[in-house]
């Protein structure tokens, strides 16, 4: 059985263990802006992660045990994940992982801003507050494992496009969790956010879509609307822009022969300026809008995201589990009043 342990901070780490068995070391596959790590059995595994201060530099970590079990701890919640389950952890707060030497697992690191753009209530799902959907979990784990094995030696034709599809499916699987099993989540607040997201998605083409109009659609105040999105350290306008970029991506991929121009797509999803759309799209997906249609052809070379490196395996002393650490605020994302979409 896995034992939950605390680890020394990264600043206190010593030199690597010379007794490490190279055959037991994890291997990694990079798919666009995603990192997939596959750990092998034969030695215990332990990892900690000190919280990242900015959501733009952080990731969510989806941990999927394939055999054995994994113990986890974050934000005061402690649990064990077994095969057929997963646990979502956030780099915006301290977390711990450990397992014994019989465990094999997959870990998928997803940029936090992208998963939040697809699932506004993602923080509700961190540290496994809800029961996962068994069928969706099976599909999710099989897909990640297949992608990791298939492209371990050679990249896919369009890694950024594949990464986008994987993130979308992860959001779909997480969104299918059974929220009825939880007692510590404000259901009314969740359903309100769901209605707001539905309204935004159905009005993306409206160039005048604004926080004021969104708040009016649900008969709530602007300040309350901002608080709903501040729960996930994002702003209303950032969320709307992410949804517009995702819709544009779907339209472009579904139109490989170019029946609609990039300009037409930009205006269709609510952007007022084509140049601004192209810059935002390229920055978000690491590929230009005109190149997304090449999904089945040779891929353009996306920029490598080197903002952070995966945490390393370290030996762990036996000390008491950490106390609860809250999610930090990003100062730049708490000022939505003067933003424009």
User: Percent of the chain scored above 70 by pLDDT?
Assistant: 73
Question: pLDDT tens digits for 175-191?
Answer: 888 776 444 445 677 77
Q: What is the Cα 292 distance to its own chain's centre?
A: 21
8 exposure class (CB count in 10 Å sphere: 0-12, 13-18, 19+): middle
77-81 and 70-74: which strand pairing?
Answer: antiparallel
- Is pLDDT at 335 greater than 70 in this prediction? no
User: Using 50, 70 and 90 to split pLDDT, how confident is the model at 149?
Assistant: confident
Q: What pLDDT was estimated at residue 192?
A: 84
| Mean pLDDT over the full length of the chain | 75
pLDDT at 199: 93
Residues contacting 144, CB < 8 A, separation 6+: 36, 62, 64, 106, 108, 166
Amino acid 108: pLDDT: 95
Report yes or no on whether pTM surpasses 0.75.
no
Q: How many residues does the chain have?
A: 341
pLDDT exceeds cutoff 90 at 107? yes
Interatomic CA distance for residues 87 and 91, integer angstroms: 13
Residues 198-231 as b/e (b if ≥16 CB within 10 A, e otherwise) read eebeeebeeeebbbeebbebeeeebeebbebbeb
Q: What is the mean pLDDT of residues 280-306?
A: 66
The pLDDT tens digits for 209-254 are: 999 999 999 999 898 898 888 766 678 998 899 889 988 988 888 8
Once rounded to an integer, what is the mean pLDDT over residues 9-36? 56
């Amino acid at each position: 059985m896995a034992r939950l342990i605390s680890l020394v901070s990264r600043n206190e780490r010593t030199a690597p263990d010379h007794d490490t068995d190279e055959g037991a070391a994890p291997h990694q596959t990079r798919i666009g802006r995603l990192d997939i790590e596959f750990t092998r059995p034969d030695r215990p595994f332990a990892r900690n992660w000190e919280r990242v201060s900015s959501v733009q530099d952080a990731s969510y970590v989806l941990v999927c045990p394939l055999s054995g079990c994994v113990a986890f701890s974050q934000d005061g919640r402690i649990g064990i994940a077994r095969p057929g389950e997963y646990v979502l952890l956030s780099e915006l707060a301290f977390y711990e992982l450990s397992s014994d030497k019989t465990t094999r697992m997959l870990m998928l690191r997803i940029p936090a801003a992208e998963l939040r753009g697809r699932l506004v209530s993602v923080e509700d799902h961190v540290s496994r507050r809800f029961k996962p959907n068994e069928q969706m979990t099976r599909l999710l784990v099989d897909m990640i494992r297949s992608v990791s094995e298939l492209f371990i030696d050679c990249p896919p034709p369009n890694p950024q496009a594949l990464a986008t599809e994987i993130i979308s499916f992860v959001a779909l699987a997480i969104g299918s969790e059974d929220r009825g099993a939880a007692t510590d989540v404000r259901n009314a607040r969740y359903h309100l956010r769901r209605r707001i997201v539905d309204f935004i998605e159905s009005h993306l083409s409206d160039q005048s879509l604004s926080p004021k109009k969104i708040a009016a659609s649900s008969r709530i105040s602007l300040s309350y609307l901002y608080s709903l999105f501040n729960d996930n350290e994002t702003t209303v306008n950032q969320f709307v822009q992410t949804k517009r970029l995702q819709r544009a991506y779907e339209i472009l991929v579904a139109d490989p022969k170019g029946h609609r121009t990039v300009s037409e797509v930009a205006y269709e999803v609510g952007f007022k300026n084509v140049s601004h759309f192209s810059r935002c799209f390229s920055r978000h997906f690491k590929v230009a809008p005109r190149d997304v249609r090449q999904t089945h052809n040779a891929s353009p070379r996306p920029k490598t995201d080197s903002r952070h490196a995966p945490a390393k395996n370290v030996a762990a002393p036996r000390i008491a589990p950490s106390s609860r650490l809250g999610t930090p605020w990003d100062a730049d994302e708490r000022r939505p009043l003067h933003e424009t979409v």
